[in-house]
Amino acid sequence: MTTSLPTPKVPSKRREVRPTDQPPEGALTPDAKPILSFTAKRRGKAPAHIADLSQAERRALVKDAGFPAFRADQLSRHYFEHFTADPALMSDIPASMHEAIRSTFMPDLVNEVVAQRADGGLTIKHLWELYDGARVESVLMRYTERTTLCISSQAGCGMACPFCATGQMGLTRNLSTAEIIDQVRMAQRACEDGLLEGGPTRLSNIVFMGMGEPMANYRAVVNALHRLIDPSPEGFGMSARNVTVSTVGLVPAIDKLAAEGLPVTLAVSLHAPDDDLRDDLIPINSRWKVGELLDAARRYFVATGRRVSIEYALIKDMNDQPYRAQLLADELNKRGKGWVHVNPIPLNPTPGSIWTASTRRTQDEFVAILRNNGISTTIRDTRGSDIDGACGQLATAVQEGGRKGSSSDAPAVKPQLAASQQQGTNTQENR
């Protein structure tokens, strides 16, 4: 097992900011510390839905309800191909099934609370309310050659990262597979209906980088991966290469995912190359150190053949020093060449945080050091800077301000979007 990394030597007297320089956001006392939590505040279970089930299980459910098993295939195609859960739009389904569809097969799971537009209509951020009042966010982003959806896997988050708006909420509960997948169905319909600027498009990419730690809701997330990747009527039939699962560093879950046979991309939210800083910046580092995490990421690459993404939010005077860029390059290179890609991310600070984005000069120097050491590196393109773009910011703003619509400089998406089935960093995609 890789031992803890030594504290890097600081080669200059440049001021350094530490995560402990202020209490975590929302703390009630000056000496408050981030508290990891894997225990949900709520124990309720979302209503069962066909998206929770395999196709064989759907057939059994429909048959047990007194209908022919082939109706399960029809319902699945409506959901995964036509992106609808409204029986009134299913012309091949008898009226006698409509009530069962609404109550048993496709109950209402996700309802719009707030929608915000940004980036000239190329980005739409939604706050959704679930059956028990819990709220989650998703962000739909259109680019020149792809359209990406960032989805949530938990309501809140128990990882307690002090710079993350969602981490400040704590963990409310895990989402069911169907609650995760219904975010995707809504986005599929929005793309088909042309609700993003530029007209109709096709949803091509999914990133599990919304609210929550995906690996802490492992079984529901893996089932959701099958619904994304498996061909219709099992699922949406998306390319596994275009699906990314992020983690702050749950090492056993990384190894478990590597053995699932699902060639999705793994993204590691690293944010610091040394344990001295990461212990305070990412509390889960107290359980699995940087070396252990990078070893697991390397094993994932070996098992799947999929290059691992390293997410690194550049925080001014905290983790953006040249010596840390060199340490990051050294740690990655000593585990091999060509297995990893680094995404430095311009920070979008949570309101009130002492942390802010690195200067452009510092950012460029950090990237140059990585590239000069042979590390594939791409600055991430930020989205949603003119709205509550960071994970958890929209939910927090609505909760604290009682806001029913989006701000005047970020026009609300029209309400008919819902009717027609529509990481404290910015929501991002590679430039």
User: Which positions make up the binding site for S-adenosyl-L-methionine?
Assistant: 212-213, 246, 269-271, 348
Calpha distance 395→130 (Å, rounded): 13
How many alpha carbons lie under 13 Å from residue 419 in its C-beta half-sphere? 4
Catalytic residue, chosen from 25, 150, 179, 391, is: 391
Q: Which residues contact 16 (CB under 8 A, 6 or more apart)?
A: 10, 317, 318, 321
Structure tokens at 311: 């997410």
Residues comprising the binding site for [4Fe-4S] cluster? 157, 161, 164
Q: What does the radius of gyration of the chain's CA atoms come to, in whole angstroms?
A: 22
Quickly list H helices, 81-137. Answer: 98-100
Catalytic residue, chosen from 25, 137, 234, 429, is: 137
Q: Phi-psi bin for 121: left (phi > 0), alpha (psi -120 to 50), beta?
A: left
Q: Phi-psi bin for 137: left (phi > 0), alpha (psi -120 to 50), beta?
A: beta
How many CB atoms lie under 10 A from the CB of residue 29?
A: 7
Query: How do 340-346 and 376-377 pair as beta strands?
Result: parallel
Known catalytic residue at 391: yes
Query: How do 243-247 and 265-269 pair as beta strands?
Result: parallel
Calpha distance 146→165 (Å, rounded): 27
Calpha distance 125→152 (Å, rounded): 12
Coil/strand/helix, residue 387: coil
- What letter does residue 357 receive in the DSSP assignment? B
Dihedral angle of Cα 12, 15, 16, 22, to the nearest 10 degrees: 160
Residues comprising the binding site? 157, 161, 164, 212-213, 246, 269-271, 348
Structure tokens at 284: 């889960």
Calpha distance 127→380 (Å, rounded): 23
Residue 204's nearest CA partner among 266, 141, 262, 148 is 148
Structure tokens at 413: 């998406």
Q: Which residues contact 91 (CB under 8 A, 6 or more apart)?
A: none
Q: Phi-psi bin for 56: left (phi > 0), alpha (psi -120 to 50), beta?
A: alpha
How many alpha carbons lie under 13 Å from residue 332 in its C-beta half-sphere? 30
CB 120 within 8 A of CB 102: no
Calpha distance 431→427 (Å, rounded): 13
Catalytic site residues?
137, 391
